[in-house]
Structure 1
Amino acid sequence: MAYNLKSESEVKEYVKNLGIEYRFGCYSEKKPEVCHLLADFLESIKKDYEKAGKVYKNNCDEYKYGKSCLKYGTYSLLGKGTKKSDFKVAYDYFEKGCNLGEPDCCLNQGLLLITKNDRPELEQDVIRGMKLLQKACSGKNANACYYLSGMYIVGVKKSDTSSNSTDKSKSDQFDVPKDMKKAFQYALEGCNLGNMYSCANLSQMYAKGDGVAKDDKLAEKYKNVALEMQKDVQSNKTLTFQEGLS
């Protein structure tokens, strides 16, 4: 049936039927991708975050659908549709999604481990966190590649290293020593995957000869690539319903 989406009554009918279709596909046909769409529908159209969260959680637990693990992990982290924020629950669902091959989950799980926090239930572990970022980057997550590049650009100091320490060598003070060659490699990968900040960093590396041979032409090339990406972001700020499945 064709709907006239300029008619308010027909729009309401369309939305109602869409909800019925998603519920049937999820609960009767037990299709994980449709359950995820049902949760998206409850979130975006109905604004019922509690019900949406329950559907995401069940779809992750019962049907092992990685994108739903990502959503429920995010809900738990933000306290959205739940009574309060719970970093440990968020971490557990990001871990489930990562193990199911969802790169965004690996990114979030890694960032929770890398970020310094005062939560006893989630101990900081930079090295393990970086391995998860590497897994996410290998899974074509551009942001993970960018974060890895940034960590190698500046290095990551040990949390217990005193600024006036004299009994340790400089390299011993770092969990992750500065490494501009690795920084360049991850920046290149991030840029190729569409991260404009990685492209901007590439431009600077080529301009200065950091981690790669100095090359003014390539510096200008990646500067222009980053600027084009910035224009695209500014001119295309809308999100499309159902794009979470792409």
Structure 2
Amino acid sequence: MRYFITLFLTALAFLTLSLSASAQTPTPEQLFEDAKARIEAGEIDNVLEDFVSACAQSYAEACNYVGLIYSASEDSDDFKTAFSFFDMGCNLGGASACEGKGNLLFDGKGVEKNDTAARAAYITACNGNNAEGCFYLGSMEYNAQGGPKNLSSALISFNKSCTLSHTQGCESAAYMQRNGEGGAIDFIKAANNYQKACDQNLAGACNVRGIMHERGEGGNVDYVKARAFYQKACDGNNGFACDNLGDLYNDGKGVAKDMVAGNIAYAKGCELNIAASCYQVGYSAHYGREQAVDYAQAIEAYTKACDAGNARGCNNLGVLHADGKGFPKNDPKAFELYQKACELNNAIACRNIGDFLRDGRVGEKDVTQAHTYYMKGCAGDDATACYQTGYAYHYGRGIDIDYAKAHTDYTTACEKDYASGCNNLGVLYASGLGRDRNDGIAKSFYEKACSLKSGVACRNLGDFAVNGRAGAADLRSAHNFYKQSCDLSDGAGCNSLGFSQFKGRGGSIEPVAGRASYKKSCDLNFAQGCSNLGLVHYNGEGGPKDDVTARALFKKACDGNYNDGCRNYGVALREGIGGTADEAGAVVALTKGCNLGAQAACQMLSK
């Protein structure tokens, strides 16, 4: 049809209309078909006058063609002429002409805009089995244009346009059936109509067909079929489908997990301006997910995602600023991006703001305000944020102590498999805080936390085993728990393991291993571990005697506020162990040890 229109736009100025006829005038249908044939052959001379002549003889389709020719112009007078021919054809029963009339009435071209009259014209067109007329009618009924909103009638109109092979009509009917608009939800009919639209290469319909397979709407979940539909839609430049395809590759659904293919799909989705895909492109570049780490690419993709309102893109762009990756380290800029992401309800960003305020990374520390953001993060289902609110209630950080609320928030974190939340629930039960003391329940939470790789919880299990809480004392089990704890880099656990190794609780005395465990504890900045490591260096246990190193380790322990570390350091200074004697320094160290609760240090001060 557009081919016809283009030809006539060029020729209109040169054509002279004539309605004269002779005795040999052919029938209007012959005039119309002959004119169409000449157009197809590239001959346009006198074609318009034949269409006009056929229209004048009450041949409706000819009137429609004349209307199409004139409506292709941008001249207002031509639109008026077009309307007159569409109106004539519609009055003669031409469904296509009624659709053309409705279009001009709806757009207000060549005639005053009149939605009510347009809807009436589309009704006539649809009754005459004009597919586009049915589609436009359904749209007006759906959107309450030119009359009341009528979803049931809209669904009928869309279905009829689909039956008449109108692709968008099939998609619109499917949308309504899938969402229960104009009738009950009917996934089967929706699937059939989306399939018809997809078969006509409507990419959006293919994407939704994939979603239905992925969700099991109208049948069983079928990731393989979902992937095939997403691939077809993505090939048709539907960005949402590319993003969905990337997710399947990312999750290994319907195909082996393949982030190379996933990254390709996300890259195309991002090119098609899908913010979620841009975030994924940024994530892969940021963390080297099946590609080389590329902070410049991550910045570009996260920025595009963030600018489009993708909260995760804003948050992760903030992470790059906070970590100084791809940018000079810039906490204020990171904070600004976290705020934007938090306002977009990204729970992790809200928690990140809490961390910044708690740690004073953008000014003075403000643990009270930090708690407010942790609460928002927890409300958004971020387990770490829930742990932080629980911790604040547990220890009174910025707010009043409330063990009941601590229990609630730790429980939320633990249910999301956040190990520290489970461990601290165990602490509440072990201590009888906010609940009756119950070592059995405490142990169960420590066990869950330990299985989730909490070194602190594994150490707590070791302490329970040593002290016979929630069961008989079992030093061998305690030793094993301390080893797990140390392997998970818990400094206190390494210290306990070292003690256990020196005592032979694992089966035999292991001084070399014990010395190594104390060293790891000290390297993890556990002050008691440094003090114990100092003692084994002083005594030459598990390795050579080394007074100089022992003195340095006692100092580190004292600097870490371990009371006996200060006592040992004071002794070393007073007696000149590992260096020159320093009585004044010894008094300072012993005084600190005394103030920290080391009674032996207090007694030494009195001598």
Q: TM-score range by the shorter chain?
A: 0.7 to 0.9
In structure 1, the residue matched to 2:243 is 107
In structure 1, the residue matched to 2:189 is 51
For 1:147, the aligned partner's letter is: Q
In the aligned structure 1, how far is the partner of 2:266 from the partner of 2:206?
17
Residue 76 of structure 1 deviates from its aligned partner by 1.1
Residue 36 of structure 1 deviates from its aligned partner by 1.0
Percent of matched pairs sharing the same residue: 23
In the aligned structure 2, how far is the partner of 1:186 from the partner of 1:75?
29
In structure 1, the residue matched to 2:267 is 134
In structure 1, the residue matched to 2:297 is 182
Q: Is the 8 A contact 1:184 1:212 kept in 2?
A: no
**Pairing partner for 1:76 from 213, 216, 219:** 213
Residue 207 of structure 1 deviates from its aligned partner by 2.5
Q: Number of paired residues? A: 200
Instruction: Using CA pairs under 8 Å that are at least 6 residues apart, name the structure with larger relative contact order, 1 or 2.
Output: 1
Q: Which runs of 5+ in 2 are unaligned?
A: 1-115, 120-147, 347-375, 377-607
Matched, 1:203 2:324: no
For 1:132, the aligned partner's letter is: A
Q: Is the 8 A contact 1:182 1:211 kept in 2?
A: no
Q: Is the 8 A contact 1:66 1:101 kept in 2?
A: yes
In structure 2, the residue matched to 1:143 is 276
For 1:108, the aligned partner's letter is: N
**TM-score for both structures, normalised by structure 2:** 0.31
Matched, 1:98 2:234: yes
Q: Which runs of 5+ in 1 are unaligned?
A: 3-10, 157-174, 235-246
More displaced 10-residue stretch of structure 1: 90-99 or 203-212: 203-212
**Pairing partner for 1:85 from 211, 218, 221:** 221
Matched, 1:220 2:335: yes
In the aligned structure 2, how far is the partner of 1:184 from the partner of 1:16?
49
**TM-score for both structures, normalised by structure 1:** 0.73
More displaced 10-residue stretch of structure 1: 175-184 or 137-146: 175-184
Deviations 1:192-245 (A, max 9, x none): 1210111111122222212223334432332232233229xx9xxxxxxxxxxx
Residue 114 of structure 1 deviates from its aligned partner by 2.9
Q: Is the 8 A contact 2:263 2:284 kept in 1?
A: no
Could you list the structure 1 runs, at least 4 aligned residues long, displaced by more than 6 angstroms after superposition. none
In the aligned structure 2, how far is the partner of 1:207 from the partner of 1:87?
38
In structure 1, the residue matched to 2:497 is none
Deviations 1:107-146 (A, max 9, x none): 11122223235x6xx2333212211110001101111111
In the aligned structure 2, how far is the partner of 1:39 from the partner of 1:111?
24
Q: Mark the CA change 1:213 to 1:31 in structure 2 (over 3 Å): closer, same or farther.
A: farther
In the aligned structure 2, how far is the partner of 1:192 from the partner of 1:42?
34
Equivalence map 1:1-16=2 (5 Å): 14-16=150-152
For 2:163, the aligned partner's letter is: Y
Q: Is the 8 A contact 2:170 2:196 kept in 1?
A: no
Q: Mark the CA change 1:89 to 1:187 in structure 2 (over 3 Å): closer, same or farther.
A: same
Q: Is the 8 A contact 1:149 1:183 kept in 2?
A: yes
In the aligned structure 2, how far is the partner of 1:222 from the partner of 1:125?
31
Structure whose CA Rg is larger: 2
In structure 1, the residue matched to 2:566 is none
Query: What is the aligned-residue RMSD (CA, Å)?
Result: 2.5
Q: Which structure's residues are more often helix, by fraction?
A: 2
Matched, 1:192 2:307: yes
In structure 2, the residue matched to 1:33 is 168
Residue 14 of structure 1 deviates from its aligned partner by 1.8
In the aligned structure 2, how far is the partner of 1:15 from the partner of 1:114?
39
